[in-house]
């Protein structure tokens, strides 16, 4: 591997260099997991009443095909962000700030960042002779939440173990490195199911989402978003005259 500073030799290279992975580019990987553009402000001087809760806002009028969030660090400091697809970020961010104006009126933006988050699931090929792509570079993010920290760390641990074993055995072939999939299987399944839930949810209207919020508990929503216990949550919706056909049956088939 050549960098601007030096040339390195290794038995296995773990490509953990994010969504615009250079390692993937060098390998000639053209496939990219579908991105959701995001924008996030770090705000100081807020007046938050409840710092023990995070807030998530969904709906086509607030964050089309995505969601907005408020993550408090303290009464006086919070992150406000959103991800949207098929719409510009800034006007929707302004709307979110408007919704939160009571708590943020005296707050200042002290940092902002924006980056694509891969929410289209894991790319089809991320293991090669001597190389494993992980994390955002391979689309290892929970699609419904856009959360990739835990899943990427888990992928790093699994890839590190496989790379260590493979190096010691002197076999870093693609076939040998494929044991990564066995170690990472629970996460691969979670990402797969969460993507299916996302595809079903992105067709719902705001009215559907409001009705769902009435029917589901916090735990149900967290489970669905993370691709966990989908069947249990789907069965709860079977009694709903409209959502049973629109949602529950599709969720049961995941």
Ligand X SMILES: Cc1cc2nc3c(=O)[nH]c(=O)nc-3n(C[C@H](O)[C@H](O)[C@H](O)COP(=O)(O)OP(=O)(O)OC[C@H]3O[C@@H](n4cnc5c(N)ncnc54)[C@H](O)[C@@H]3O)c2cc1C
Q: Does 133 bind ligand X (CB under 6 A)?
A: no
H/E segment holding residue 169: helix 149-169
Tell me which of 42, 48, 117, 133 binds ligand X, using CB under 6 A: 117
Binding mask 31-70 for ligand X (x = CB under 6 A): -------x-x------------------------------
Specify whether the CB–CB gap between 78 and 46 falls below 8 A. yes
Q: Does 141 bind ligand X (CB under 6 A)?
A: yes
How, if at all, do strands 131-133 and 13-15 pair? Answer: parallel
Q: Report the nearest approach of ligand X to the CB of residue 238 (Å).
A: 31
Phi–psi pair at 111, nearest 5 degrees: -160, 150
- Listed residue (85, 47, 82, 92) closest to 65, CA to CA: 85
Binding mask 84-113 for ligand X (x = CB under 6 A): -----------------------------x
Q: Report the nearest approach of ligand X to the CB of residue 25 (Å).
A: 10
- Listed residue (6, 101, 3) closest to 46, CA to CA: 101
What tokens does 204 get?
């719902």
Nearer to ligand X, 138 or 248 (CB): 138
Q: Report the nearest approach of ligand X to the CB of residue 37 (Å).
A: 9
Helices of type H across 1-111: 22-27, 89-99, 101-104
β partners of residue 72 = 78
* Contact stretch for ligand X (CB under 6 A) within 10-18, 27-35, 160-168, 193-201: 10-18
Q: Which residues bind ligand X (CB under 6 A)?
A: 16-18, 22, 38, 40, 81, 113, 115, 117, 135-137, 141, 146-150, 152
């Amino acid at each position: 591997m050549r960098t601007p500073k030096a040339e390195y030799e290794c038995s296995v290279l773990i490509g953990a260099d994010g969504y615009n992975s250079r390692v993937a580019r060098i390998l000639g990987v053209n496939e990219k997991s579908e991105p959701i553009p995001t924008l996030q402000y770090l705000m100081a001087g807020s007046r938050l009443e409840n710092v023990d809760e995070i807030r998530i806002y969904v709906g086509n009028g607030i964050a089309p095909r995505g969601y907005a969030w408020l993550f408090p660090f303290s009464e006086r400091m919070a992150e406000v962000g959103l991800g949207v697809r098929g719409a510009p970020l800034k006007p929707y961010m302004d709307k979110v700030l408007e919704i939160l104006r009571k708590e943020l009126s005296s707050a200042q933006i002290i940092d902002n960042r924006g980056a694509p988050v891969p929410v289209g699931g894991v790319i089809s090929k991320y293991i090669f002779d001597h190389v494993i792509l992980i994390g955002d570079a391979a689309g290892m993010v929970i699609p419904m939440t856009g959360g990739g920290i835990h899943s990427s760390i888990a992928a790093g641990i699994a890839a590190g173990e496989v790379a260590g074993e493979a190096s010691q055995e002197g076999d870093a072939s693609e076939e040998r490195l494929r044991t990564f999939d066995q170690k990472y299987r629970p996460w691969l399944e979670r990402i797969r199911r969460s993507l299916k839930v996302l595809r079903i949810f992105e067709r719902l209207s705001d009215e559907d989402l409001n009705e769902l919020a009435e029917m589901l508990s916090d735990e149900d929503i967290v489970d669905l978003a993370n691709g966990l216990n989908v069947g249990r949550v789907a069965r709860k919706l079977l009694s709903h005259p409209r959502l049973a056909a629109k949602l529950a049956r599709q969720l049961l088939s995941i």
